[in-house]
Chains A and B, each alone.
Chain A
Amino acid sequence: MADKKVPCPFCERMADPEKVPGPGDIICVQCGMNLLTGLKVDRGQPARSSAKIPWFGILAALVTVLVVALVAGGVYWIVLRDPVERAREAGRGGNVLDGIEILEAHIAKVPEDAEAHLVMGQLYWQGSEFARAAAEFSIASRLAPQDEDAALLTVVASEKGKTVDYTNTQIAALQRLVQEQPRNARALYLLGLALGTIGDHVGQASALERALALGTDDVPEESLRAQLAVAQALLGQTAAAEEQSQKALAQNPNDGDVQALQGFLASLRGENSIATAALEQAVRESTSVGELAKGRLGLARLEEGRFDEALALLREAKNAPGAPPATEFYHALALQLNGLNEEAVAAFDQIANTPGKFSGDAAMQLGQIYLDQNKIDPASEALRRAQSNGESSARLYTLLGRMEMLQGNVGEAQNSFRQALQLDRDYAPAHLENGLAFVSRGSLIEGVQELRRYLELVSPENPGSRYPEIELLVNQLSEASDQAPVIEAAR
């Protein structure tokens, strides 16, 4: 506890209450004034009285009585007035600790004094102890849920104090507030956002809908709509989300975040061209999710086969502070697709060695690069690493099959391809590789069948599928298989 000296109103020095002779008295050690009585204590001299009717004495007595009355009144004023107020006064005077002490004493007696807690919180805030301030504000809010300031101060102090469970504290305060003030749009908005940050998108949507329904100007409508759209999108209500975002955009067409929202919503719907356009616009308009927008645009470029552009975008996204781990992986993928295999290998190697969502995929990409380079041993090592990272997918077995093919083990390879197809019978690359394996064995009919299945599964417009070339190959193989009997007859 801090020093309990109190300022002496007489000499303006600090009195040390611990040094007073009696309980409760506060004597200024400097001037001897009893702060409670207002009398000066003569430590060496007894008090003297007068024999005549001394008018001076009477006057003195009257004065004394008056003074006593005044002092009593003062003492009364000082001792028996609102501690909260006193604490406030202390706080105003910069005596935060005094104020806190007053309130602590008070709260100890009257723990349900909401105002006391509120003031306590203010005092703590003043002392930059935000966590404690948040706690006090939260108690005040709980005790006086109708007190908007208490609730809001709880929210802000919690934000600043960042205690362990601060968001829930915020949410609780806001919920209390909106219960008391159902028309408090701002509170509803804040509640919605808070719920959104913890993933309660149902609550988020509900709060925002309520705020929107109020139709007030306290919160910009476009903000409400935008955040409502986010909540709906995260709940899978894509149509509703689209509707809200369109309205938000109409109200604020140059808002980068709304543009970005449009883009990501379109992306969720699978409308990639719309998504790309909106995200590009968002980046131009400047959005708070610029890195993610660039990352998403990079992915779009990957899908379109514009690998160099994808690389540039993903590089920017990766280098931004707070970039998600996915960006590292896709940047490495863009390196690979641009033929920068050395850099890609280094990047994938690092990701594969880091436990996480993409470690298995990174190991498989590594294996794929080595297979493309006919480096069997490193490929084998990488694919084994993928398996140890928990991978057991059609893609993995297809890569294992390719490795067997490189070693000339066609039978083993086809076993792997069959396993891949058992896991996913519509996995096009497995059909492709299996078909090529048949061809290598001279089984052209089976090979053509598998390659035709590949063509059925991929899109002709997809440049990565090499549809025209493989279609031509199928024709060539069909011709080759048809001509075999003619050649035999000619022999």
Chain B
Amino acid sequence: MRKFIHHLTVVALTLAMVPTAWAWGPKTQLSIVTTAAHLLSKEGGIQLRQMDEHIREGALASQDALKEQYPELRLGDEIGAISGEMQLLQAVRGDAIDAYFAYRLGMLGKLVAQVTAPMSQEDATYRNLYYADVEERIQRIGLDAAARKRVEPKDYFTRVILEANVNNDVIAGEYEDGDGFEGLAQSSLAIDAARSVSAVADTWYTILSGRAVQGGISEEQLRNYVVDAHGYYIRAGKVAELKAAKERLAKIIEPDPDMLVRIGDLYYEAQRFDEAVAVYEKVLADMPQRRDVAERIAAYYLQKGDKALNDGRLEDAEGNFASALSSDPLHNTAEGRRLEAVGMIADRDARLEATRRALEAASQLQAMADQESLKNRYAEAAVLLRQSRDTYQSISDEFPLEYQRALNNVRDIQYRLQELRQQILANAQQFSGTGSALDAQSLADEGAAIFDKQALTALVSGAYEREMRQLEEDIRERATVN
């Protein structure tokens, strides 16, 4: 029971990994392909070790990628797919194996492994159980090396497929009986795996050792191969490898404009816009009537312009919009957006000018404040400093240099205001004693009344004294008897 549950779990996991009814699990496929690569390298004839990474990548391609790459698979013609791929690879082989070629080998190896797997035609339940069990064990089995054979796809694979599926009924019966992988499946695993390995190795051997024949391969296929190769390198970001492979790919078939456009698109999709545009512009230079290319270029520059706008790089945006217009003079929005960018530049420049004027004004206010402070006119200095600070604070962060300068000056002003405050407070005490002058005036006021009254009294007494003297003068004769 436990075993059953375990199997059930593995099956579920495998089903998750193997969404379609293909042969071998992914780990098994990879093991088969890599083993085949090692075998070929070991056998000395073909060095694939350096391409191991790319082969593995091909072997790990998704089923959808396989179907995409091998349209025959949609029609169920696996052998046709293998055959066609073999012809193509033979045709494009050249004198060296590049990364994409190895990748294609890996994909082909995966396909071959799948095709040559046992139980591929059996009921999905048992098939998946079997493959799940194989996934657990594939790393532990030893594979017998067989001599390499050239492959004639139809015959070869018909035979191999037959051999691979000869035990299907038994294996299925064992699973049905509950024995699972314990019976024939297990005992035949090594042979089955080796078969697949040999099939892959033989297939590659046929491709790599045979004479390169381009007959039977359409230009369309060659073009697709070259474009796909570009796509492979571009998506992986393997710029250097693409550069190295470019010349070899060009020998396969010289890119025509459509190919270039497709290659440009690949660059574009990979967001390698500069390279994409370079390709597009090359196309456009040769074929100015290609509006689709012009539109692509324009779209690129417009996108670039928009990004530049978002980033605040208005000149770049304006340039990009101008480039878009240059690429596609009939573009219905490029000019408008270019003008918009021009307008934004003008506005920005105006704001920058205003910002600089504000800085200048604030600086002048600061200088004036310093002058007032030197004259001990602290209130005026404080007012000017505040005005200066407010001006600095009105400056936005749109222009970093100016903004930083404003921030620095605001800080300086804050310290200066604090200093002024201290000076004001210290200066205040000098006014102590001012009231003494008022007291003196008040005393003078009081004294005035004293002097006034004394003077008036003195006028009376003075007049009286004079009258006395005059009276004495007048009456002197009558004062005596003489």
Is B482 an interface residue, CB under 8 A from the partner? yes
- CB of B246, distance to nearest CB on chain A (Å): 62
CA distance in complex: A465, B433 (Å): 10
B437 and A465 contacting across the interface, CB-CB below 8 Å: yes
Is B346 an interface residue, CB under 8 A from the partner? no
Is B467 an interface residue, CB under 8 A from the partner? yes
Q: Which residues of chain A are within 8 angstroms of B451 by Cβ–Cβ distance?
A: 264, 267, 292, 295-296, 299, 324, 326
Is B212 an interface residue, CB under 8 A from the partner? no
Q: Which residue of A lies closest to B437 (CB)?
A: A464
Q: Which listed segment binds B: A2-10, A23-31, A63-71, A470-478?
A: A470-478
B459 and A476 contacting across the interface, CB-CB below 8 Å: no
Is B1 an interface residue, CB under 8 A from the partner? no
Q: Which residue of A lies closest to B465 (CB)?
A: A159
CA distance in complex: A156, B469 (Å): 8
Q: Which residues of chain A are within 8 angstroms of B436 by Cβ–Cβ distance?
A: 368, 372, 429
B438 and A458 contacting across the interface, CB-CB below 8 Å: yes
CA distance in complex: A475, B378 (Å): 9
A299 and B428 contacting across the interface, CB-CB below 8 Å: no
CA distance in complex: A462, B435 (Å): 12
Given A92-B482, A125-B479, A436-B429, are A466 and B434 also a contact pair (CB < 8 Å)?
A: yes
Q: Which residues of chain B are within 8 angstroms of A469 by Cβ–Cβ distance?
A: 431
CA distance in complex: A123, B479 (Å): 8
The residue that A428 contacts in the complex, of B414, B438, B463, B475, with Cβ under 8 A, is B438
- Compute the total of residue contacts between A and B using a CB distance below 8 Å: 232
A268 and B452 contacting across the interface, CB-CB below 8 Å: yes
Is B418 an interface residue, CB under 8 A from the partner? yes
A432 and B435 contacting across the interface, CB-CB below 8 Å: yes
CA distance in complex: A153, B476 (Å): 9
- CB of B187, distance to nearest CB on chain A (Å): 85
Beta-carbon contacts under 8 Å, A411-449 to B? 428-430, 432-433, 436, 439-440, 442, 447
The residue that B433 contacts in the complex, of A99, A372, A430, with Cβ under 8 A, is A372
A193 and B459 contacting across the interface, CB-CB below 8 Å: no
Is B42 an interface residue, CB under 8 A from the partner? no
Q: Which residue of B lies closest to A465 (CB)?
A: B438
Is A337 an interface residue, CB under 8 A from the partner? yes
Beta-carbon contacts under 8 Å, B392-450 to A? 414, 417-418, 420-421, 424-425, 427-429, 431-441, 443-445, 447-450
Q: Which residue of B lies closest to A149 (CB)?
A: B478
A324 and B471 contacting across the interface, CB-CB below 8 Å: no
A436 and B432 contacting across the interface, CB-CB below 8 Å: yes
Is B271 an interface residue, CB under 8 A from the partner? no
- Annotate B452-482 by CB proximity to A: 1 below 8 A, 0 otherwise: 1111111111111001100110010011111
Is A351 an interface residue, CB under 8 A from the partner? no
A122 and B481 contacting across the interface, CB-CB below 8 Å: yes
Q: Which residue of A lies closest to B436 (CB)?
A: A368
- CB of B381, distance to nearest CB on chain A (Å): 9
Given A234-B457, A465-B437, are A289 and B464 also a contact pair (CB < 8 Å)?
A: no
- Annotate A139-172 by CB proximity to B: 1 below 8 A, 0 otherwise: 0000000000100110111011000000000000
Beta-carbon contacts under 8 Å, B343-402 to A? 377-379, 382-383, 386
- CB of B35, distance to nearest CB on chain A (Å): 73
Given A122-B479, A299-B451, A487-B414, are A476 and B463 also a contact pair (CB < 8 Å)?
A: no
- CB of A201, distance to nearest CB on chain B (Å): 9
A480 and B382 contacting across the interface, CB-CB below 8 Å: yes
Q: Which residues of chain A are within 8 angstroms of B460 by Cβ–Cβ distance?
A: 193, 196-197, 204, 227, 230-231
Q: Which residue of B lies closest to A469 (CB)?
A: B431
B480 and A476 contacting across the interface, CB-CB below 8 Å: no
A289 and B421 contacting across the interface, CB-CB below 8 Å: no
Q: Which residue of B lies closest to A484 (CB)?
A: B421
Given A152-B475, A159-B472, A470-B431, are A462 and B481 also a contact pair (CB < 8 Å)?
A: no
CA distance in complex: A430, B438 (Å): 11
Q: Which residue of A lies closest to B482 (CB)?
A: A92
Given A92-B482, A159-B468, A476-B382, are A333 and B440 also a contact pair (CB < 8 Å)?
A: yes
The residue that B480 contacts in the complex, of A122, A430, A480, with Cβ under 8 A, is A122
- Annotate A285-322 by CB proximity to B: 1 below 8 A, 0 otherwise: 00011001101100110110100000000000000000
Q: Which residue of A lies closest to B451 (CB)?
A: A296
CA distance in complex: A477, B443 (Å): 31
- Annotate A264-289 by CB proximity to B: 1 below 8 A, 0 otherwise: 10011000100000000000000011
A149 and B463 contacting across the interface, CB-CB below 8 Å: no
CA distance in complex: A333, B448 (Å): 14
B435 and A428 contacting across the interface, CB-CB below 8 Å: yes
A267 and B452 contacting across the interface, CB-CB below 8 Å: yes
Q: Which residues of chain B are within 8 angstroms of A473 by Cβ–Cβ distance?
A: 379, 424, 427-428, 431
The residue that B439 contacts in the complex, of A157, A429, A483, A486, with Cβ under 8 A, is A429
Q: Which residues of chain A are within 8 angstroms of B382 by Cβ–Cβ distance?
A: 476, 479-480, 483
A264 and B452 contacting across the interface, CB-CB below 8 Å: yes
A288 and B482 contacting across the interface, CB-CB below 8 Å: no
A429 and B434 contacting across the interface, CB-CB below 8 Å: yes
Beta-carbon contacts under 8 Å, B155-189 to A? none
B481 and A292 contacting across the interface, CB-CB below 8 Å: no
Is A345 an interface residue, CB under 8 A from the partner? no
CA distance in complex: A260, B432 (Å): 39
B479 and A476 contacting across the interface, CB-CB below 8 Å: no
CA distance in complex: A487, B479 (Å): 95
Given A91-B480, A122-B481, are A196 and B464 also a contact pair (CB < 8 Å)?
A: yes
Is A126 an interface residue, CB under 8 A from the partner? yes
- CB of B307, distance to nearest CB on chain A (Å): 38
CA distance in complex: A91, B482 (Å): 7
B435 and A260 contacting across the interface, CB-CB below 8 Å: no
Beta-carbon contacts under 8 Å, A117-139 to B? 119, 122-123, 125-126, 133
The residue that A464 contacts in the complex, of B424, B440, B480, with Cβ under 8 A, is B440
The residue that A156 contacts in the complex, of B379, B417, B437, B472, with Cβ under 8 A, is B472
| 15 further interface pairs, Cβ-Cβ under 8 Å (given A91-B480, A442-B425, A479-B379) | A91-B481, A92-B482, A157-B479, A159-B472, A190-B467, A264-B451, A292-B458, A302-B440, A324-B454, A326-B447, A337-B437, A466-B434, A473-B379, A475-B379, A476-B428
Where the two chains meet, the residues of A that have a C-beta atom closer than 8 Å to any C-beta of B are 87-88, 91-92, 99, 119, 122-123, 125-126, 133, 149, 152-153, 155-157, 159-160, 189-190, 193-194, 196-197, 204, 223, 226-227, 230-231, 233-234, 257, 260-261, 264, 267-268, 272, 288-289, 292-293, 295-296, 299-300, 302-303, 305, 324, 326, 329-330, 333, 336-337, 361, 368, 371-372, 395, 398, 402, 405, 428-430, 432-433, 436, 439-440, 442, 447, 458, 462-466, 469-470, 472-473, 475-480, 483-484, 486-487, 490
Sample 13 A-B pairs with CB under 8 A, ordered by A number: A153-B478, A156-B475, A160-B472, A190-B464, A196-B464, A223-B463, A264-B451, A299-B448, A337-B437, A395-B439, A464-B434, A476-B427, A487-B418
10 tightest A-B contacts by CB?
A429-B435, A464-B437, A91-B481, A476-B379, A196-B460, A193-B464, A475-B379, A292-B455, A288-B462, A479-B382
